[in-house]
Amino acid sequence: MGEDFKIAVIPGDGIGPEVVREALGVLEKIAVTSGHRFTTKELLAGGCAIDATGRPLPPETIAACRESDAVLLGAVGGGKWDGLPGDQRPEMALLGLRGQLGLYANLRPAFLYQQLKEACPLKPEIIGDQIDLMVVRELTGGIYFGPRGRSKQDSGEQAFDTEIYNEGEVERIARIAFDIARQRNSKVTSVDKANILESSRLWREVVIRVSQDFPEVKLNHLYVDNAAMQMVRDPKQFDVIVTSNLFGDILSDEAGMITGSIGMLPSASLGEGNFGLYEPVHGSAPDLAGKDQANPLATILSVAMMLRYSFNLSAEAAAIEQAVERVLAAGYRTGDIMSPGKTLVGTEQIGKLVTSFI
């Protein structure tokens, strides 16, 4: 008996609708092969929502997301709305979705496909057989949300931001990291600055405490400066990296870069239960919109993450990931990952190829 899953779909702006269309095509194939049912509801957010309703994140969109099991988002933003004041811009929809849906864990896998090795800026001897790591970033706490301010002093103007974490916040993100490590290669690296920061010392204590509930997962700790260095010196050593909002912001981009193309990077933001929002890392790429040139693989791989982390359908997730790998192995490339001797295809064709390889 197949299960029923409800997905809120937010195509957004620019290339968002194009890449989401291909990802939904892949999902339809999974429905056929697995017997599960995926009911989708299309919603507005971002620039298109501003045009239609006057606001970047209409209340109906949030309400429909809350009634769903997961959210699939394309991308939002574009030059047309750049002149709007900060709090009315399309990107506010992203912050609103994360905040209002309680999405506190950001998952950014960095997986280097063997077929795209030449896009990796690292030397072949550093890459070795495989780079396959996952950055788990705390998303709703830390210095981005702590007390902040500016004041005039005798010496001139002064500004401050505050890094604050409580035990509960660290514990829940640590549990997600250990859970994910259990489904991967059973290793967690916790990244902090415990030699200097009090908040990092609490972070480390709580992560060690949580680790006792996961005896099968190996835990080590790195200071963030060392972690940034290790990422390019020996990325193979990592399986799951768990870290704060600020450190994760930086390390997840560094990890993404070693895989070569922004068009290949999926992400997930998880909240309570199995609820999550899944989206490609890239933006709305207005330069490519409507040209059938965008790479939809990041969005397709985001759907694979949705199946694995929100719907507990690991085999179906792996089927999508393998299909992507086979499309690359067969030599098909979109413009962003094109190299000599390969076959250049558009957004729609590469989407159809993935579907046909499932």
The interface region with ligand NAD, picked from 53-61, 97-105, 130-138, 293-301 by CB under 6 A, is: 293-301
Active site residue 234: no
Q: How far is CA 286 from CA 15, 52, 174, 205, 278, in A?
A: 7, 19, 37, 45, 21
Closest CB 22 distance from ligand NAD, rounded Å: 10
Active site residue 239: no
Alpha carbon of residue 236 to chain centroid: 20
Closest CB 336 distance from ligand NAD, rounded Å: 4
Q: Which of 218, 253, 342, 352 is catalytic?
A: 253
Give the residue carrying structure tokens 């193979």: 236
Shorter beta-carbon distance to ligand NAD: residue 116 or 197: 116
Cβ pair 207, 170 in contact under 8 A? yes
Closest CB 284 distance from ligand NAD, rounded Å: 4
Closest CB 288 distance from ligand NAD, rounded Å: 5
Cβ pair 113, 265 in contact under 8 A? no
Site for ligand NAD, residues 244 to 273, rule: CB under 6 A: 262-263
* Contact call for residue 276 and ligand NAD (CB under 6 A): no
Site for ligand NAD, residues 45 to 104, rule: CB under 6 A: 75-78, 91, 94
Closest CB 303 distance from ligand NAD, rounded Å: 14
* Contact call for residue 287 and ligand NAD (CB under 6 A): yes
Active site residue 292: no
Q: Which of 144, 179, 218, 223 is catalytic?
A: 144
Q: Cα(175)–Cα(340) distance, rounded to whole angstroms?
A: 44
Within the chain, strands assigned E span: 4-12, 37-42, 70-75, 105-111, 132-138, 148-153, 156-161, 187-192, 218-223, 240-243, 266-270, 276-280, 332-333, 343-344
The interface region with ligand NAD, picked from 180-188, 248-256, 279-287, 320-328 by CB under 6 A, is: 279-287
* Contact call for residue 336 and ligand NAD (CB under 6 A): yes
Q: Which of 41, 117, 249, 352 is catalytic?
A: 249
Cβ pair 358, 27 in contact under 8 A? no
Q: Cα(72)–Cα(16) distance, rounded to whole angstroms?
A: 11
Shorter beta-carbon distance to ligand NAD: residue 132 or 253: 253
Instruction: Kindly state the DSSP code that residue 68 receives in the 8-state scheme.
Output: S
Shorter beta-carbon distance to ligand NAD: residue 75 or 176: 75
Angle made by CA atoms 140, 223, 181, in degrees to the nearest 5: 65
Burial of 68 (0-12, 13-18, 19+ CB in 10 A): buried
Which among 55, 64, 76, 60 is positioned nearest to 12, based on CA atoms? Answer: 76
Cβ pair 358, 29 in contact under 8 A? yes
What would the two tokens of residue 216 be? Answer: 């099968």
190, 259, 284, 302: residue in contact with ligand NAD (rule CB under 6 A): 284
Q: Which of 225, 234, 287, 292 is catalytic?
A: 225
Total number of residues that touch ligand NAD (CB under 6 A)? 22
DSSP three-state, residue 256: helix
Active site residue 4: no
Shorter beta-carbon distance to ligand NAD: residue 31 or 84: 84
Shorter beta-carbon distance to ligand NAD: residue 20 or 219: 20
DSSP three-state, residue 29: helix
283, 303, 316, 351: residue in contact with ligand NAD (rule CB under 6 A): 283
Site for ligand NAD, residues 2 to 21, rule: CB under 6 A: 15, 19
At CB < 8 A and 24+ separation, what contacts does 149-158 make?
A: none
Catalytic residue ranges: 144, 193, 225, 249, 253
The binding site for ligand NAD (CB under 6 A) comprises 15, 19, 75-78, 91, 94, 262-263, 279, 282-288, 294-295, 298, 336
